[in-house]
Homo-oligomer: A and B are copies of this chain.
Amino acid sequence: MFDKYEDECGVFGIFNHPEAANMTYLGLYALQHRGQESCGISTADGTRLRTHLGSGLVADVFKDDEIFNKLPGKASIGHVRYSTAGGDSIRNCQPIAVDYARGSVAVAHNGNLVNAQEIRNELEEKGSIFSTTADTEVIIHLLARSQSDALPDRISEALRRVRGAYSLVFLTETRMVAVRDPHGFRPLVLGEVDGAYVVASETCALDLIEARLLREIEPGEMVVFDKNGMTSYHPFEERTPSPCIFEFVYFARPDSTVFGQQVYRVRKGFGHQLAREHQVDADIVIPIPDSGVPAAIGYAEESGIPFEMGLIRNHYVGRTFIEPQQSIRHFGVKIKLNAIREVLEGKRVVVIDDSVVRGTTSRKIIKMLRHAGAKEIHMRVSSPPTAYPCFYGIDTPTRKELIASSHTTEEICKYITADSLGYLSLQGMLEIAGAPRGANGYFCEACFSGNYPVKFPRLKSDDQLGLF
């Protein structure tokens, strides 16, 4: 399905390009699916940083040509993010740009730290002030307090203090630095175009600007770009990498390559595996568009059951939608999806979704399918039950809200009123995604297994889990 998670974020950076701000704009455009609520671009012209930020889509925040005139310089970083509520949310936009003893620095961050509050408390005790609620500001404070002379040293000193997930791009007057945490939770790739280096959350951003993919930034790697070119560092203690498997399930765009794997291919593989694990006698396989499409194609291919588009998505769904006020009806999912009776009527239907969160949307979709005449509805989910919240950058609901945290598959099946329900097995998923059999460690699959690669401070109640 779609819009079911508060998406995480996307970052982009380009160094040594005559149209740096404009290329960043394009890169963010391609990463828009990772965050629709605000965005920003910082540029460096050798002596000064400049930043433009705003709430809204990239195409709206940067709709005036003249904004680009105010963003000169051959180096630039950018960020797309999901929203926060409140009138002062503008302060939480990224890149965050500050002045400190060594000059200016701007930062764009994808990820979440687990010890941010702890360090924040400690820094506040020492007199620091915080103008945002972002973890990112903690990193900047640590960087600014570092006594090291060299920028790479300051950054690595700062990052050795934090634990959690981060794919970061820093920009100073003269340098750009890209870092990925030792676990490599969030993706970050390195490319090249017109002699300029590019970093981006996903390869689709490289594709749009016709940059060539060089390689992933490795887990624990820090890459510094300056007038002398690119220098790679590995300043952190080595950790077992644990890239986020959910990028394959939902986040990444299907045309991207993340963690060395092509997303569409992996999703289709999930579908193949799902078909092997949960066969069913049926007439058609339909996806819940758009995220369920590749897995449904895979399921159809493997099972031999014909693939159909039985649900049509309305692509004009906007941010605001005014429901009839006195009406007893609620439009919810109908606004976004419509079922085709002629495809569904009298059919035994396999419905492929990428994941199930609260179960309420699945329930509504199944009701819609039945209303359109489906005889049997077999829900197949191309990931295991989502039973644990994420602490590394995805704003999942709290445990309480995750239906799989307190209900068996059978109970969920009953709740969503499906005729059958099958989840992809964790083992099956990991195999497809490329983890060596038995080596659960390779991916972070904490949201499915509760097996968190990076420990976090004990929380008083389960409810607070959602606050991260």
Q: Which residues of A contact B (CB under 8 A)?
A: 18-19, 22-23, 25-26, 29-30, 32-33, 36, 50-53, 57-60, 62-63, 65, 67-68, 70-71, 86-88, 90-91, 96-101, 121, 124-131, 133, 140-141, 144-146, 204, 207-208, 210, 253-255, 257, 262, 264-265, 290, 293-294, 297, 301, 306-309, 312, 314-327, 329, 331, 334-335, 338-343
Indicate if the CB atoms of A254 and B36 lie closer than 8 Å: no
Indicate if the CB atoms of B86 and A70 lie closer than 8 Å: yes
**Nearest CB of chain B from residue A95's CB, rounded to whole Å:** 10
Chain B contacts for A321, CB-based, 8 A: 29, 59
**Nearest CB of chain B from residue A4's CB, rounded to whole Å:** 15
**Nearest CB of chain B from residue A9's CB, rounded to whole Å:** 15
Indicate if the CB atoms of A316 and B33 lie closer than 8 Å: yes
Chain B contacts for A57, CB-based, 8 A: 316, 318
**Looking at A50, A133, A324, which has the most chain B CB atoms within 10 Å of its CB?**
A324
Give CA–CA (A63, B322) in the complex, Å.
Answer: 7
Q: Please pick, from B63, B67, B90, B128, the residue contacting A90 in the complex, using a CB distance under 8 A.
A: B90
Identical chains bound together, number: 4
Chain B contacts for A130, CB-based, 8 A: 98-100
Indicate if the CB atoms of A334 and B98 lie closer than 8 Å: no
Indicate if the CB atoms of B340 and A254 lie closer than 8 Å: yes
Give CA–CA (A204, B316) in the complex, Å.
Answer: 14
**Nearest CB of chain B from residue A450's CB, rounded to whole Å:** 31
Q: Please pick, from B30, B146, B210, B319, the residue contacting A314 in the complex, using a CB distance under 8 A.
A: B30
* Contact flag A96-B127 (CB < 8 Å), given A52-B87, A70-B86, A254-B312: no
- Chain B residue with Cβ nearest A56: B318
Indicate if the CB atoms of B324 and A309 lie closer than 8 Å: no
Give CA–CA (A60, B322) in the complex, Å.
Answer: 11
Indicate if the CB atoms of B98 and A70 lie closer than 8 Å: no
* Contact flag A145-B131 (CB < 8 Å), given A26-B324, A36-B316: no
Give CA–CA (A146, B145) in the complex, Å.
Answer: 18
The 5 tightest CB contacts between A and B, nearest first, are: A127-B145, A52-B87, A59-B318, A101-B124, A262-B342
8 A-B contacts (beta carbon < 8 Å)? A26-B324, A32-B316, A63-B320, A90-B90, A98-B130, A127-B128, A254-B340, A315-B315
**Nearest CB of chain B from residue A356's CB, rounded to whole Å:** 22
* Contact flag A131-B53 (CB < 8 Å), given A312-B255, A316-B33, A327-B19: no
Give CA–CA (A335, B29) in the complex, Å.
Answer: 8
Give CA–CA (A320, B98) in the complex, Å.
Answer: 31
- Chain B residue with Cβ nearest A321: B59
Chain B contacts for A297, CB-based, 8 A: 307-309
Chain B contacts for A320, CB-based, 8 A: 59, 63
Indicate if the CB atoms of A255 and B338 lie closer than 8 Å: yes
**Nearest CB of chain B from residue A262's CB, rounded to whole Å:** 4
Give CA–CA (A319, B323) in the complex, Å.
Answer: 25
Chain B contacts for A334, CB-based, 8 A: 207-208, 210
Indicate if the CB atoms of A322 and B101 lie closer than 8 Å: no
Give CA–CA (A323, B341) in the complex, Å.
Answer: 42
Give CA–CA (A127, B343) in the complex, Å.
Answer: 51
Indicate if the CB atoms of A255 and B340 lie closer than 8 Å: yes
Chain B contacts for A144, CB-based, 8 A: 124, 127-129
Indicate if the CB atoms of A59 and B340 lie closer than 8 Å: no
**Nearest CB of chain B from residue A116's CB, rounded to whole Å:** 12
Give CA–CA (A309, B253) in the complex, Å.
Answer: 12
- Chain B residue with Cβ nearest A2: B315
